Amino acid sequence: MTVGTVKLKIDNVEVAVPEGTTILEAAKSNGIDIPTLCNLEGLSGYGGCRLCMVEIHGSPKLFAACVTPVGMGMEVITQSDKLREYRKMAIQFILSERTHICAVCVANNACELQKLANDLGVDHVMFEREWTRLPVDSTHDFLVLDRNRCILCTRCLRVCDEIEGVHTLDLKMRGKDAQVIIDLDEDWANSSSCTSCRKCAKVCPVGAIYVESVALEETKDKGIAEFVLSRRNRK
């Protein structure tokens, strides 16, 4: 069975990609940059952060590029004033939840959320902030989970399940109150499934999961999932 080719326009550029490709992948492979936060190469799509929203000609609603497959003849817009405002608002929603204080965060200057806010010109948050004071789990030998900084992108859950294969991490509760839990909501030190592989800390875009007393730029590795997959699939 051969995979067909789909032709579409992205920002008025004709592109051709294999069937089943997402708009995000199609844009990326043609050098068009769409901002993302929850997406990571090598992990399944999630569509949680709403930063990669794009316009599709003929539809009034916006689509998350990371989970929308391409269609024949689609005309996709990735940059417009409407989208810029929308993305700025998405960043502000994320910043208004929990307690994001860049100045005193371990991730300061190495944080994807902070960088996106800067790139998009988000200079304040129009919504009232939540100011959570959730306890920090520092029981593990070297991994720390600070839920006050978690943006619920679930990269850690996906890398733990899909790449490491142990599914130690999951979520409890719903909506903005959802929280990352370890096994059946234990302290990290008591986890029977965690292999201490650090992949969660490597992929966390912010300062929510990190390796204690190691500089974040030394820990972070956005390519880890793709790298492991490439080794795993060696014939």
Partner 1 sequence: MKEIVINPITRIEGHAKVVIHLNDDASVRDARFQVTDFRGFEKFCEGRPYYEMPSITSRSCGICPVSHLLASVKACDQIVAVNVPTTAVLLRRLMHMGQIIQSHALNFFHLSAPDFLLGMDADPATRNIFGLIAKEPEIARQGIRLRKFGQEIIENVAGKKIHSSEWVVPGGAKWPLTKQRADYLLSNLPEALTITLKTIAMFKEWLSSCTEEVETYGDFPSLYMGLVTADGGLELYDGNLRIVDNDGKTAVDHVNPDKYYDDIGEAVEPYSYMKFPYYKPLGYPDGMYRVGPLARLNVCSHCDTPLADQELKEFKKLGKNGIVQSTFHYHYARLIEALFCVEKTKELLSDPEILSERVCRRVYVNNYEGVGIAEAPRGTLIHHYKVDPQGMIQKVNMIIATEHNNLAYNKAVTQVAQKYVKAESLQEGMLNRVEAVIRSFDPCLSCATHAVGQMPLEVQLIDSHGKLLDRKIRSPL
Partner 2 sequence: MTSTSKVRVATVWLSGCSGCHMSFLDQDEALIDLAQQIQLVYSPIMDVKVFPENVDVTLIEGAVANEDQEELLKFARERTKILISLGDCAVTGNVPGLRNGITNSADAVLKRAFVETADMNPQIPTDVPTLLPKALPLHEVVKVDFYIPGCPPPADLINWVISRLMRGLPVNMEGRSKFG
> What residue ranges bind partner 1 (CB under 8 A)?
103-104, 106, 108-109, 133, 135-136, 138-139, 144, 146, 212-213, 215
Nearer to partner 2, 23 or 91 (CB): 91
State the minimum distance, in angstroms, from the CB of residue 80 to partner 2. Answer: 15
The token pair at 10 is 């992205």
Footprint of partner 2 (CB under 8 A): 95, 99-105, 108-109, 114-115, 117-121, 123-126, 128-133
Question: Can you give the C-alpha Rg of the chain in angstroms?
Answer: 19
Nearer to partner 1, 104 or 173 (CB): 104
Residue 106 site contact among partner 1, partner 2, none (CB < 5 to 8 Å, cut-off depends on kind): partner 1
Query: Out of partner 1, partner 2, none, which partner does residue 112 contact, by CB within 5 to 8 A per kind?
Result: none
End-to-end CA gap in the chain: 21
Q: Nearest approach, Cβ of 156 to partner 1 (angstroms)?
A: 19
Q: Nearer Cβ to partner 1, position 211 or 224? A: 211
Indicate which of partner 1, partner 2, none lies near residue 135 (CB less than 5 to 8 Å, by partner kind). Answer: partner 1
What token pair was written down for 34? Answer: 């769409």
DSSP reduced 3-state for 119: helix
Residue number with CB closer to partner 1 (24 or 145): 145
CA 172 to chain centre: 18
Instruction: Specify the long-range contacts of residues 123-128, CB closer than 8 Å, at least 24 apart.
Output: 125/92, 125/95, 125/96, 126/89, 126/92, 127/92, 127/93, 127/96, 128/96
List the beta bridge partners of residue 16: 7
Q: Which does 136 bind (CB under 5 to 8 A by kind): partner 1, partner 2, none?
A: partner 1
Closest separation between CB of residue 226 and partner 2, Å? 28
| Three-class DSSP labels, 59-93 | CCCEEECCCCECCCCCEEECCCHHHHHHHHHHHHH
Q: How far is the CB of 115 from partner 2 (least distance, A)?
A: 8
CB of 209 to partner 2, least distance (A): 19
The rounded distance, in Å, linking the Cα atoms of 233 and 80 is 39
What is the closest distance, in whole angstroms, from the C-beta atom of residue 213 to partner 1 in the complex?
A: 6
Inter-residue contact 28 to 95 (CB < 8 Å) = no
Q: Which two tokens stand for residue 162?
A: 């899909």
